[in-house]
Structure 1
Amino acid sequence: MFKTALIIAAATISTGAIAQDAEVSVANGERISIIGGCHDCHSTNYAETGGKIDPATALKGNPVGYSGPWGTNYAVNLRLVVASKSEDEWVPYIKTLQAGPPMPWFNLHVFTEAESRSLYQYIKSLGDPGDPAPERVPPGQTPKTPYIVFAPPVMPQ
């Protein structure tokens, strides 16, 4: 019974069903940053503290890389990205963004305009942008920072 209800509910949800007139606010942006998983990678020590947001480091990127066949990618400093754009530039930016693994960039494409604007306002409210995250390391090169191997084992033929 429960599984059936869950499947039916999930099947009826579409991006068109999401309210387009949600309030644009810093508070909504903070909520979106949490449920959207932004802090999971872009805020150091977020997972280690059980989801506590440290305003001093929130969304400033992460020096721990994600390494795989693509090389090593780092969660960028979102405060710097926001500092380089106006709110009106941010909305189409995240609607069309494509990024390397493991960033689920395609999830950003379903944000409503209100969600995008709220996220922008929240990130902007965090203050000093800080420094950039480390640069991407190409395949075959060893990163100089800590990194997580983020690649599946060889699959059987």
Structure 2
Amino acid sequence: MKNRMNSHAALTAHLLRRVARTSAVLTVLLSSALAGAQTGSSQKANKDEIQRGRYLVMIAGCNDCHTPGYAAKNGEVDEKLWLTGDALGWSGPWGTTYAVNLRLLMADMSKQQWVKHARTMTPRPPMPWFNVRPMTDADLKAIYAYTRSLGRGGDPAPAFVPPGTKPGGPVVQFPG
């Protein structure tokens, strides 16, 4: 009888250990599955935000100035070159300005810094900052997400050339 009780106790202990191990394995598997589902949904949200940013960059005309050759090539420029700035100058009474490399600019900013920058910047012409400021935070964050998704690329744009100084490269001349 005592052997049967010992056998029963040993079997019970063995079964309890198996249940505990199985529970631990199931907990890990379920936690991983839930984390994967959450990551998947956040990845989808991030992908959607990036796609929205791409769309906004296209319709807002950001590429027109910030992508080399974009307008001259009717928009047929490899996306790898998008938003890398341009050496084509914009010259007028203010001097000569160049479209900044947005990819390098945003690479060194947090999302919140970008939103603040977009809301407060007053660059020289022809940058239409007055069209950027009314964008929603969601729009600005989407543009940021898209631009950051492209990675760093290109070189910094040439520096501002003050009025009365001849720029070193080609320019679009504004009247005045």
TM (norm. structure 1) is 0.78
**Count of aligned residue pairs for this structure pair:** 130
| Displacement of 1:145 | 1.1
The structure 1 segments of at least 4 consecutive aligned residues displaced by more than 3 Å after TM superposition are none
State the distance in 2 between where 1:138 and 1:99 align.
14
The corresponding residue for 1:31 is 55
2:70 alignment partner in structure 1: 46
Post-superposition offset of 1:129: 3.0
Shift of 1:49: 2.2
Q: Separation in 2 of the partners of 1:56 and 1:31?
A: 16
SS at 1:72 equivalent: strand
Unaligned runs of 5+ in 1: 1-22, 153-157
Q: Which runs of 5+ in 2 are unaligned?
A: 1-46
Q: 91, 97, 109: which one pairs with 1:73?
A: 97
| Separation (CA, whole Å) in 1 of partners of 2:147 and 2:175 | 30
1:55 pairs with 2:79: yes
SS in 1 for 2:113: helix
Larger helix proportion, structure 1 or 2? 2
**Can you list the C-alpha shifts for 1:54-90, whole angstroms capped at 9, x where unaligned?**
2221101010100111110000000111011011211
- 1:148 Cα deviation from its structure 2 partner: 1.1
Partner of 1:10: none
Partner amino acid, structure 2, of 1:32: L
2:165 to 141, 146, 151: 141
3-state DSSP of counterpart to 2:81: coil
Determine helix, strand or coil for the equivalent of 2:90: strand
The answer on whether the counterparts of 1:24 and 1:115 sit within 8 Å (CA) in structure 2 is no
Higher RCO, Cα 8 Å, sep 6+: 1
